[in-house]
């Protein structure tokens, strides 16, 4: 589950934009099984809202056509159903996403993994519900035999090819493609001459420049409370991406035990540590998206070690280890604390 509260500043007089409040274009719609919102502050005079809306829709349609696991005709879906184990030509965008996924996989102790699909389906968080909500150890081991992108997939970026070790190996890009799509929209805005913007899809986002008050965009991180929309912390963002991953809304219960939709690709089972929400700030939305998932699987203890070693801005919210459901413990990396101090 990804959720961030996008807080837009009120439109007030700004020295940067002149004496009059800047023009703001806002667009919204549906994509990737969720919603999107685009805000453009002080657009070029030649930029028409209708044309911009069409451009945004075209970019998102192109991303879905390549990376949607729900579109049976998409590039990733065709790769998944293919029985070919030799090199398959893939698009430049696919190479970009897979290269980023490989980087996060390597740095995260293998906790970020795009071959997680068999386990997602086994635990009932995919397109079908399992006959038994709690898989057997044997079924988990079988699913794990097709998981592990480091040795199940071979990306040759220079040739724009991707191969898999067995026909059953597949790719699920749900934890990184959304961020790529956000960045793709932002790239289109910049190509059109837009300098100040925010692009948000399903709570993940990227900002460019400054808001209508000529200040950094101010984004609220949500408290990890099911059924509520309260702000835990305000994060100032200027030309940065932000993603939040949490386990407090998407889960299943069986015999009184809650099973998170966040699955550890190493154990093959839902995470059991106390970390319930992770927010990551990165240079773009794609890396923020991927690292938010990776950090949630890692948990605050190991996640913070990796964050410090790689200068990642991350904010952890964990449940009280003594079982108090109303008490949370927060931790932030040095890079995240520096962002707050710079506000």
Q: What is the pLDDT, as a whole number, of residue 7?
A: 44
Residue, of 64 and 131, whose pLDDT is higher: 64
Is 81 among the domain residues?
A: yes
What residues are paired with 199 via a beta bridge? 38, 206
Q: Helix H segments across the chain? A: 49-67, 75-81, 92-107, 117-122, 137-144, 149-152, 177-191, 285-310, 334-341
Tokens 């948990």 correspond to 299
Give the pLDDT confidence of 247-280 residue by residue, as tens digits: 765 556 555 566 677 899 999 998 888 899 999 9
Average pLDDT of the chain is: 89
In a domain, 287, yes or no: no
Angle between helices 92-107 and 49-67 (to 10 degrees): 70
Domain count across the chain: 1
Question: What pLDDT shows up at residue 159?
Answer: 97
Judged by average pLDDT, the poorest of 23-27, 64-68, 132-136, 270-274 is 132-136
Residue range 49-64, pLDDT digits in tens = 999 999 999 999 999 9
pLDDT tens digits for 187-222? 999 999 999 999 999 999 999 999 999 999 999 998
User: What are the CA-CA distances from residue 6 to residues 13, 57, 93, 109, 222 (Å)?
Assistant: 21, 21, 27, 31, 10
Which residues are 242's β-sheet partners?
A: 205, 281
3-class state of residue 131 by DSSP: coil
Report the 10 Å Cβ neighbour count for 143: 21
- What is the domain-level CATH number for residue 81? 1.10.3980.10
Position 154 scores a pLDDT of: 98
Angle (deg, nearest 10), helices 92-107 and 177-191: 130
Q: Could you tell me how far CA 336 lies from the centroid of its own chain?
A: 17
**Percent of all residues in the chain with a pLDDT value above 90, rounded to a whole number:** 75
Whether 112 maps to a domain, the answer reads yes
Instruction: Let me know: does 42 contact 195? Beta carbons within 8 Å.
Output: yes
Kindly report the pTM of this predicted structure: 0.90
**Is it the case that residue 1 has pLDDT exceeding 70?**
no
Q: Supply the pLDDT for residue 224.
A: 84
**Per-residue model confidence (pLDDT) at position 262:** 86
What domain range includes position 154? 68-164
User: Are the beta carbons of 210 and 216 closer than 8 angstroms?
Assistant: yes
Q: Tell me the H-state helices in 221-284.
A: none
Whether the Cβ atoms of residue 220 and residue 5 lie closer than 8 Å to each other: yes
Stretch (H or E) spanning 198: strand 196-201
For residue range 277-316, what is the model confidence (pLDDT) as tens digits? 999 999 999 999 999 999 999 999 999 999 999 999 999 9
Question: Is 159 a domain residue?
Answer: yes
- Residue in the structure block whose two tokens are 């099911």: 226
Residue 342 pLDDT > 80, yes or no? no
Angstrom distance (rounded) from CA 208 to CA 196: 5
Q: 248 with 277: CB under 8 angstroms? A: yes
Confidence of residue 65 (pLDDT cuts 50, 70, 90): very high
Domain annotation covers residue 160: yes
């Amino acid at each position: 589950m990804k959720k961030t509260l996008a807080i837009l500043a009120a439109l007030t007089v700004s020295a940067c934009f002149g004496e009059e409040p800047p023009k703001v274009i806002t667009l919204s719609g549906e994509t990737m099984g969720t919603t999107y919102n685009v805000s453009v502050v002080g657009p070029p005079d030649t930029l028409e809202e209708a044309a911009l809306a069409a451009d945004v829709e075209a970019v998102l349609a192109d991303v879905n056509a390549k990376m949607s696991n729900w579109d049976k005709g998409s590039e990733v879906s065709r790769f998944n159903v293919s029985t070919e184990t030799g090199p398959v030509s893939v698009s430049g965008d696919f190479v970009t996403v897979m290269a980023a996924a490989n980087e996060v996989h390597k740095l995260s102790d293998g906790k970020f993994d795009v071959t997680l699909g068999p386990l997602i389906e086994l635990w009932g968080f995919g397109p079908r519900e399992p006959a038994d909500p709690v898989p057997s150890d044997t079924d988990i081991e079988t699913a794990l035999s097709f998981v592990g992108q480091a040795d199940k997939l071979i990306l040759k970026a220079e040739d724009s090819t991707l191969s898999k070790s067995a026909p059953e190996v597949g790719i699920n890009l749900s934890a990184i493609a959304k961020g790529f799509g956000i960045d793709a929209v932002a790239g289109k805005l910049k190509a059109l001459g837009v300098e100040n913007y925010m692009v948000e899809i399903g709570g993940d986002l990227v900002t460019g420049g400054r808001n209508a008050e000529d200040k950094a965009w101010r984004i609220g991180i949500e408290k990890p409370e099911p059924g509520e929309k309260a702000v835990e912390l305000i994060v100032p963002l200027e030309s940065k991406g932000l993603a939040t991953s949490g386990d407090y809304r998407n889960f299943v219960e069986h015999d009184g035990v809650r099973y998170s939709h966040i699955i550890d690709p190493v154990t093959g089972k839902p995470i059991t540590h106390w970390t319930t929400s992770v927010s990551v700030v990165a240079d773009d939305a794609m890396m923020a998206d991927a690292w938010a998932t990776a950090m949630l699987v890692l948990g605050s203890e190991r996640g913070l070690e990796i964050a410090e070693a790689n200068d990642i801005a991350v904010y952890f919210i964990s449940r009280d280890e003594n079982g108090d459901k109303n008490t949370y413990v927060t931790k932030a990396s040095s890079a995240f604390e520096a962002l707050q101090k710079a506000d």
